[in-house]
Amino acid sequence: MGKKGGALALFLLAGIVLGVYHGAEAWKAPVAVEGAQMALSEPTHETNYFADLQIDPAAHRVTGTLTVRFQPQDDRAYFHLYPNVFQSQADMGDPNWERILGKQREPGGMEIKQVRVNGKEAPVQVEGKTKTLLHVPIPAEKNAKPPHAEVEMRFKLQVPYNKGRLSYNDHAMWLGNWLPILAVKEKDGWRLDPYASIGDPFYSQVANYHLRVMLEEKYQLATSGVESVAVVTQSRPQRVTTYEIDAWNVRDLAMVVMDESYRKMSGKVGDTVVHTWSQEGDDAGTAERLHEVGQESLRYFSEQFGTYPYKEYDVVKTGGFFGGMEYPGIVFIQEDLFERSDPSGEAVVAHETAHQWFYALVGNDEVREAWLDESLSDYATMAYLTAAKRPGASFYIQMRKAQSQESLSYAGRGLTVWQSVEQFPDWNSYVNLVYGRGSTMLWELREAWGEERLHTLLRQYVKEHQYGLATGERFVSMLSQEAGTDAAPFIDYWLHLKQEKQEEAAAWLEKSKHE
């Protein structure tokens, strides 16, 4: 598909925004937005990760020690070992994996050694169909008030080659969902969901991270933490740089290692430093526009949904074919978006920036309620594009509305917006339902209520759940409360695809306008 004329296909793949812009004009400069005072992020959570890492980009390898201190909720703990889904014996031949990973790929995985619990060697087990769970027994401690556990493990990560979130190319290595991370325990038990081939099948709680990273000095580093205030030391004659980096109150930690071909543009939004990482040879105008959108959308969302608490935000060019992927304080942006003059890259950056609120600050179950963060983030993208008066905004909204209408055809197949990622048969159904249908529902609400009323509700939602976990049930409850009437018919029609509820949904929306 050429860069000029025709339709530019942009599929939204799980935090992964690609869409369709039919002959969209080049976008104008971002709308000016008043500056906001940002809150500083300080450690507030009792779970702490300490990682001592040695990174070898040439060998595509990370080795090190991870120590996790936390309050146990059971006589065991589970850690997700997501990289093991890419082992050589893994069955990844289904079309949904192929779409993300590509046909040319090399295996990888994580080896765990010498696990200790409170200083004593522990008989751990690697479990799950794809060996992506580490089962760690937690012995009871007498007189420990409150009970605590310290799990220490040595590991070796061989980074796979593919088109996904964890991979590398000749110039960079991007590490998404790579570090062992504690599973969530709910009142009904442990959530040990596998790494599914559709969506972002991740579910985690906020913690504090401290990293010590050793890296050859010719490489550069961007993480979920704050590199701009990191303690950096250099060793001679080894030519190794050691970084001491903190990331407070984040529900995951991602990292990109880059060679000397990378350049960064920097700016500031309130108290947050914004870096955009591109490469020599990238279109300078495109890189500048993506940098502007990263800053301006961060400012807009701060004003609309609550101040951004993290001190640094990195927008990083990576390889892969996933459009964009969100992590706290850092987002990965697919490489070809830095080489195109159309507005698709700007929509991707805005969408991933919106995820800093709807996923990073306000967590949710991305396995069973993927719509909650994706629909809210895509609605926020639409709101930003509209506020910025970008020529592509109208087309983007119409694209989502068309996907929403198409989604009604899935009702006869028993599919809904509100279902587990494992229930979607393919990426197209996931995109049309979770992105198109969910964001259009919120846009309809905006058109009935007005931006100010809807955004007041979203600000309250963020305030109530910041650093915590939200649920779809709670969001619907807040919607009902604001409307003054039970939102069930509206949700049934839009999210559960009950077409017989269309008139009731319209009546609810009309009534809610006057409450």
Structural contact between residues 220 and 214, judged by C-beta atoms closer than 8 angstroms: no
Kindly report the length of the chain. Answer: 515
- 64 Cβ neighbours under 8 A, 6+ residues apart: 51, 52, 53, 54, 154, 155
d(CA 427, CA 11): 9
Does residue 443 contact residue 394 with C-beta atoms inside 8 Å? Answer: no
Nearest to 377 by CA among 417, 415, 434, 426: 434
351 belongs to an annotated ligand binding site: yes
Q: Any known ligand binding at 60?
A: no
Check whether 339 is labelled as a binding-site residue.
Answer: no
Angle among Cα 493, 498, 499 to the nearest 5 degrees reads 85
Distance CA 116, CA 388 (A): 53
Q: Which residues of 401-418 are buried (b: 16+ CB within 10 A; e: fewer)?
A: bebbeebeebeeeebbbb
- Which of the 8 DSSP states describes residue 161? B
Q: State the pairing for strand pair 207-216/125-127.
A: unpaired
Q: Cβ of 185: how many Cβ atoms within 10 Å? A: 17
**Which residues are the active-site residues?**
352, 435
Known binding residues for Zn(2+) are: 351, 355, 374
Known binding residues are: 351, 355, 374
